[in-house]
Amino acid sequence: MLTRTKPHGSYQHGSLLIESRNRQSDVWVYRWREAGPNGTRIKRKMIVGTKDDYKTKAAAMRAVDGMRLEINAEAPIAPRGLTLAEVVAHYRETELAPDSQRKSPSTRKVYGEFIDAYILPEWGSRPLRDLRPVTVERWLESLAYAPATRAKIRNILSALFQHAIRQGWAANNPIRAVRVSAKRVTEPDILGFEEIQLLLTELPKPVRTMVLLAATTGLRVSEILGTQWQDIDYDGALIRLRRGVVNQEVSGLKTIGSRRPVPVAAVALEALREWQKQTSFSALSDWVFASPHTGGEQPYWPGTLLSRHIQPAARRLGITKRVGWHSFRRSYATLLYSNEQNVKVVQELMRHATPNVTFGVYAQAVTPEKRAAQERLAMALQP
């Protein structure tokens, strides 16, 4: 039997032990007590899983963490009894579970990485009461990370407190009072028309087709990789977005806006036709950019295409800007904006909920535009 942890306040930790089963695998059993009538204490137990399910004590204990919080949910918890690590354990069991529909696989992955890398090492063993706005704010300010990273840490901490509130384990969310700026230190690089044209001449298929599609539609790389041939409407010159692929995990798209059909320019549509004739995976249910290394079962890895083809091509062409897959989406918004397109049209092509996201985050006023605006103002001011 594992050593019982001494309860802190009215919050009970219970105990974990192994029980033998005839002709079956041994099982991990969690034992605890709950209040009965007339002040009595009733012994309870629950099978956590078999030794085959949880091969180590640590693995079984992680499963127990979530159960322990459920068991204590109806009991009054001492103000300093519940640690952030215990809230995290339950959050993983519910919100970040592989079968959870609340968050996409990529979001679950990012949340898990941030929790493990930043939040648990600093705050995991601390009671919730120790996380005060000023304390957390000073800690975030001390981190030598980009503003966006610090803001992400703050937002995940806030989500953990909201989870505790929903479960009845906390009365308020102190992280909402934490101030942290998410302003960029540097502006992301935007590719101009000529730079994109040069890249396209330097890239082999199908990378060239993917870049052309990204640069002329503003699609995210996850959406491009999630496209199947049956999603392309050649007659209507549209792609009907139904799914995304991140780290080879397929998930639905988050919003109605993300699922809107995207118009495809004639040059990109023709490139898709040509690629469908050349690829070995051209059935309607095949990925448009299926990887031959997986027998077409999965699309290409975007990072591999970026590091082996796109970034080396940029260096050969003398393009010193930082080029990533998202560069094409940002450049798409900026080039539409600089071409004097209607604000509403650009917003809808980017599939954003509001113009603020399109023009506050993505589109940048390019230098020639700024100079032209300055010249027009100077001319108007002349006597």
Both ends of the chain: CA-CA distance in Å? Answer: 92
114-128, 231-245, 277-291, 360-374: range with lowest mean pLDDT = 360-374
Most confident of 211-215, 261-265, 336-340: 211-215
> What is Dmax (Cα atoms) for the chain?
101
Report percent pLDDT > 90 for the chain. 39
For 269-285, how does the pLDDT look when each residue is reduced to its tens digit (9 = 90+)?
999 999 999 999 999 99
Residue 212: pLDDT band with limits 50, 70, 90: very high
Kindly report each contact of residues 366-372 with a partner whose C-beta sits within 8 Å and lies 24 or more positions away, as own/partner. 366/190, 366/192, 366/334, 366/338, 368/338, 369/338
**Spatial separation of the C-alpha atoms in residues 361 and 72, rounded to whole Å:** 44
Strand partners, 15: 31
Kindly tell me the burial class for residue 65, based on how many C-beta atoms sit within 10 Å of its own C-beta (0-12, 13-18, 19 or more): middle
79-186: CATH class: mainly alpha
* Beta strand pairing call for 244-246 and 232-233: unpaired
Residue 208: pLDDT band with limits 50, 70, 90: very high
Q: Would you state the CATH architecture of domain 193-368?
A: Orthogonal Bundle (1.10)
Query: pTM here?
Result: 0.62
Strands (E), 108-157: none
Tell me the average pLDDT of the chain.
Answer: 81
Residue spans per domain, the chain: 1-57, 79-186, 193-368
What are residue 30's phi and psi, to 5 degrees? -105, 130
Please name which of 115, 105, 71, 59 lies closest in space to residue 244, comparing C-alpha atoms. 105
Strand partners, 249: 246
pLDDT computed for residue 346 by the predictor: 67
